[in-house]
């Protein structure tokens, strides 16, 4: 039925894996200032503070308490079993989609597991948290790696590929994102504009400004596996209520 599927994921898909979201109660932006830890200016002002913030998130990601949940596994299953095109665009910097098996994946806001040389822009897998000794091997003298994270005021990665996929998609699903940060928040408009069916999965009820045609309210880990099975069964989303 569907031929080209684009899926946008946000922090909500990783919430059931033990990773805090940004804007829910007790979320990351309640405890940290965006200006201090998520802007180029904040980094220039206090490198150690920013490194501590991303290092503690890196350590949590590498701890036993974090692992993919059924929503991540369901999207990997969709990629493997679907015979059309699929692209998962994630705003998340964790690697839970990869660990679950997703490969057609784009990290538009960067990756916690990588550092970047500020001169050559080459990226390096981080084997340990950030610190003055975590340096590039592309420069002499070696440069201190910066987090490979898109900060406010910087351009997200992969925008050409994302726009191509949105132009062609016939189904767009956003999972666990508050839709407050652009350009990701505008993808639904673009998908609607190109005639796609647009579907949202979120813990919260949609507000009256929502641009999505269909909503599933609840936990991603409960809803996404059923949604994926319906797509693989050739069902049209919204034609019958989702059975949980």
Catalytic residues: 109
Q: Do the Cβ atoms of 116 and 157 come closer than 8 Å?
A: no
Neighbours of 203 (CB within 10 A): 15
Say whether 168 counts as a known binding-site residue. no
Query: Which of 4, 134, 178, 197 touches ligand OAD (CB under 6 A)?
Result: 178
124-143 residues near ligand OAD, rule: CB under 6 A: none
User: How far is the C-alpha of 124 from the C-alpha of 18, rounded, in Å?
Assistant: 26
- Residue 135 or 242: the one with the smaller Cβ distance to ligand OAD is 242
Q: How far is the CB of 52 from ligand OAD (least distance, A)?
A: 16
14 in contact with ligand OAD (CB under 6 A): no
> Which strand ranges, in their side-by-side order, compose the sheet holding 85-90?
105-107, 85-90, 4-9, 171-175, 197-202, 214-217
DSSP string, 153-176: TSPPTTHHHHHHHHHH-SEEEEES
41-70 residues near ligand OAD, rule: CB under 6 A: none
Q: Give the C-alpha distances (Å, rounded to integers) separating 120 from 93, 114, 124, 159.
A: 21, 14, 11, 21
- Residue 142 or 204: the one with the smaller Cβ distance to ligand OAD is 204
DSSP 144: B
Q: Spell out the residues 6+ positions from residue 224 whose beta carbon is closer than 8 angstroms to its own.
A: 13, 70, 71, 74, 75, 175, 201
Instruction: Give the interface size with ligand OAD as a residue count (CB under 6 A).
Output: 25
> Residue of minimal CB distance from ligand OAD?
12
- Residue 169 or 223: the one with the smaller Cβ distance to ligand OAD is 223
- Residue 47 or 203: the one with the smaller Cβ distance to ligand OAD is 203
Residue list for the binding site for NAD(+): 10-29, 91-94, 176-178, 202-204, 220
Site residues, ligand OAD (CB under 6 A): 10-12, 15-16, 21-24, 27, 38, 91, 109, 150, 176-178, 180-181, 201-204, 219-220
């Amino acid at each position: 039925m569907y031929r080209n599927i684009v899926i946008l994921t946000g922090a909500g898909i990783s919430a059931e894996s033990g990773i805090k979201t940004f804007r829910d109660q007790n979320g990351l932006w309640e405890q940290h200032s965006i200006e201090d830890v998520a802007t180029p200016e904040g980094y220039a002002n206090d490198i150690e503070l920013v490194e501590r913030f991303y290092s503690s998130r890196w350590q949590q990601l590498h701890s036993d308490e974090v692992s993919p949940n059924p929503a991540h596994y369901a999207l990997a299953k969709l990629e493997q079993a679907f015979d059309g095109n699929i692209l998962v665009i994630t705003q998340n910097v964790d690697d839970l989609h990869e660990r679950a098996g997703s490969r057609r994946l784009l990290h538009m806001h960067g990756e916690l597991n990588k550092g970047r040389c500020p001169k050559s822009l080459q990226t390096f897998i981080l084997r340990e948290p950030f610190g003055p000794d975590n340096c590039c091997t592309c420069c002499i003298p070696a440069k201190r790696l910066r987090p490979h994270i898109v900060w406010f005021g910087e351009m997200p990665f992969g925008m050409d590929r994302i726009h191509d996929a949105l132009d062609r998609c016939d189904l767009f699903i956003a999972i666990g994102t508050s839709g407050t940060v652009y350009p990701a928040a505008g993808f639904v408009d673009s998908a609607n504009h190109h005639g796609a069916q647009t579907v949202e999965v979120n813990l919260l009820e949609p507000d009256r400004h929502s641009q999505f045609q269909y909503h599933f309210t609840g936990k991603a880990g409960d809803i996404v596996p059923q949604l994926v099975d319906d797509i693989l069964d050739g069902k049209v989303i919204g034609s019958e209520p989702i059975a949980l």
